[in-house]
Chains A and B, each alone.
Chain A
Amino acid sequence: MTKSVFDTRDSIRAGELTATAAAEDALRQVEQVNPQLDAATEILREEALEQAAELDRRLESGEEPGPLAGVPFTVKSNICTLYGRTTAASRIIENHVSPYEATAVRRLREAGAVCVAKTNLDEFGMGSSTENSSIKITKNPWETNHVPGGSSGGAAALCSATRGMLHLGSDTGGSIRQPAAYCGVTGLKPTYGRVSRYGLLAFASSLDQIGPLQHSALECALVLEAMAGVDEMDCTSRNVEVKDYVESASRDISGMRLGIAPELFPEGVDSEVRERVEQAIEVLRGLGAEVKEVSLPNARYANPAYVLVSAAEASSNLARYDGVHFGHRTKEAEDLVALYKSSRAEGFGPEVKRRIMIGAFVLSSGYYDAFYLKALKVRKLIRQDFETALGEVDAVVCPTSPITAFPIGERMDDPMKLYAVDVLTVPANLASLPALSLPCGLSGDGLPIGMQLYGRAMEDDVVLRIANAFQSETEHHLQAPPVNAWGGGGEA
């Protein structure tokens, strides 16, 4: 069954498909690919079917069941759901069941969507390969010896290998866009404040944002429309009109101005990646877009600034995992401080410990000005660079990642090698801008390549529109990976 989320939604509304049948199909797909991919950390068969049956009762009795009635969805395991565990793929909260629900999840559920699975990630979102999960390593459906990217690697792999579902991820420095690029799907990091962060386990509060990973920009628009909007539980959510994103993404792009910044095509970008992105830009030009060069002189400082800012916020946010309020507590501790230290040392994985330590250092007395304050100032300069560039163009185009998906284990020996992969995605988080990754072809080895679009703050519709125009003209987003649940392309 090859179909989009719109097909699932429309069939249910037309009475041709029950919510139960849609949930059954989604569960079958996840269950079929998960043994090969390890993308879902939990498949919520019983709970999903219960929800679906309830929706079918409401549909039968003629009630208005919501705009996404019966559409199945998955949730990254660092986002709180009322059923299924919210573990952040960390041992420190490996059995955590949240007593409350994330606003983004609640809005999808109230629109009638049904949660069928929780998905894998790098512990607390810290990583770019999903190898830092304490649960298992997710595999790339295009080549199962390769990583799916991260940290939303479970969502990206599952999206790539299945059809007709919604997938929620989170993005602090590229965690939606980079795995979307590696798995050949479309991923949107909305403008900071577009979607409530309430119920997203905080990694770096000034950078984190929840967003969709889907097959197409139009599907992303549908999810964004359902989730976006101000929320009194998150005072950084913005009270700005929620557009009809599906409608606005459907418009053409003739006369739109696209910027190319040499700083976002640095030397380290693989030649095949560069080539595919340049070809994609030609397609956009053919659709009526004007292309011009812009300058982002401080973009090269984004990654070091990100390393410091994100670590500082993480060290503060992760102080709450103390062996008292949540999850793991050490067996023997003679006093409270020893209880904190041992519980945390036993519960956190190596990368999380490294980031907490870096963060504690940059916030500590004597080093704060030289490191943390400096990074905040650089952040401001990067935001100003984008404001200037996006004053001249409607969006900036660049690769999502300098490379394609790499073999599992290749970069685990040196965390710095993993950090380098984020260099083209972190500027969007530092500058609070919307950014989207979409597939634009395959490498010679058959691995997906992603193109990225940066837009102005609160103009998420513009990047969706450019991506949709590209996808209306091309078929890169419809290609099936070798591991898939619907029998498309290679082996099913």
Chain B
Amino acid sequence: MSIEVTDELVEKIAVLSRLDLTREELDGFKEHFEKVLEYVGELQELETDGVDPSLFTSEASNVLRSDEGTPSLPNEVALRPSPDSEPPYFLVPRIIGDAESSEN
């Protein structure tokens, strides 16, 4: 599949990635992205119809355990690495009630 790497595509990827990049970073990525697409393009040569696309190649199968609760990290300990918290919550900027808040 041939892909035209446009500014729009690169900007869309940045939005999906939740990265607020500068124009310079976006242009740098565009150049890198073209090289990566060229590099991985050779995979298309390979005939892979009917090959099982499993995520893991290890022999492990589903692992079950008994459905019993076990102790986990205490709330205040789990919150410790957060930049802003007020047990038992993580604190974030206001996200509800402002109509123009976000397009995503």
Mark A residues whose CB is within 8 Å of B: 93, 96-100, 191-193, 206, 232, 235-236, 238, 298, 301, 304-305, 307-308, 315, 319, 322-329, 333-342, 344-345, 348, 350, 353-354, 356-358, 360-361, 364, 367, 370-371, 373-381, 383, 415-416, 419, 430-432, 457
Query: Assuming A336-B92, A358-B36, A364-B13, is B19 touching A381 (CB within 8 A)?
Result: no
Contact B17 A357 (CB under 8 A): yes
Write the nearest CB–CB distance from A323 to chain B, whole angstroms: 7
Q: Are B101 and A377 in contact (CB under 8 A)?
A: no
Q: Which residues of B contact A (CB under 8 A)?
A: 1, 3, 10, 13-14, 16-21, 25, 28-29, 32-33, 35-36, 39-40, 42-44, 46, 48, 51-60, 63, 65, 73, 77-78, 80-84, 90, 92-95, 98, 101-102, 104
B39 touching A304 by the CB < 8 A rule? yes
Output the least CB separation between B103 and chain A (Å): 8
Q: What are 16 A-B pairs at a CB distance below 8 A?
A: A97-B81, A100-B73, A193-B60, A206-B55, A238-B58, A238-B60, A307-B39, A324-B92, A329-B83, A339-B92, A345-B19, A353-B29, A357-B17, A361-B33, A364-B16, A430-B57
- Grouping DSSP codes into helix (H, G, I), strand (E, B) and loop, the A interface class, with mixed when no group exceeds half, is helix
A358: B residues at CB distance < 8 A: 33, 36
Question: Which residue of B1, B16, B42, B56 contacts A370 across the interface (Cβ within 8 Å)?
Answer: B1
The SS class assigned to the B binding surface is loop
> B residues within 8 A CB of A339?
92-93
| Given known A304-B43, A457-B58, contact A376–B53 (CB-CB < 8 A) | yes
User: What separation, in Å, do the CA atoms of A379 and B56 have in the docked complex?
Assistant: 9
Contacts of A350 in B (CB 8 A): 25, 28
State whether B13 touches A360 (Cβ < 8 A): yes
A335 touches B58 (CB 8 A): no
Complex: A348 Cα to B29 Cα, angstroms: 14
Contact, CB under 8 Å: B20 / A345:
yes
A223 to chain B, nearest CB (A): 21
Q: List, in ascending order, chain B residues with CB within 8 A of A383's CB.
A: 57
Other-chain residue from B32, B63, B82, B94 in contact with A354 (beta carbon distance below 8 A): B32
B17 touches A236 (CB 8 A): no
A374-B40 Cα distance, complex, nearest whole Å? 10
Partner of A336, one of B46, B77, B81, B93: B93
A99 near B57 with CB under 8 A, answer no
Whether A338 pairs with B35 at a CB distance below 8 angstroms is no
Establish whether residues B57 and A432, one from each chain, have CB atoms under 8 Å apart when the complex forms: yes
Please indicate the chain A residues that have their CB under 8 angstroms from the CB of B39 in the complex.
304, 307, 416, 419
Cα-based distance from A238 to B43 in the complex (angstroms): 31
- Closest A residue to B84 by CB, please name it: A329
B82→A325 contact, CB < 8 A: yes
Q: With A308-B40, A374-B43, A380-B51 given, is the CB distance from A99 to B81 under 8 Å?
A: yes
In the complex formed, the residue of B with least CB distance to A374 is B43
Query: Could you tell me the distance in whole angstroms from the C-beta of A328 to the nearest C-beta in chain B?
Result: 7
- B95 near A335 with CB under 8 A, answer yes
B101:A335 contact, CB within 8 angstroms:
yes
Whether A326 pairs with B94 at a CB distance below 8 angstroms is: no
On whether the beta carbons of B36 and A333 are closer than 8 Å, the reply is no
Cβ contact within 8 Å between A357 and B19: yes
Inter-chain pairs besides A336-B102, A375-B43, 14 sampled, C-beta below 8 Å:
A238-B58, A324-B83, A326-B83, A327-B83, A329-B84, A337-B18, A353-B21, A356-B19, A357-B14, A357-B29, A360-B17, A370-B1, A371-B40, A432-B56
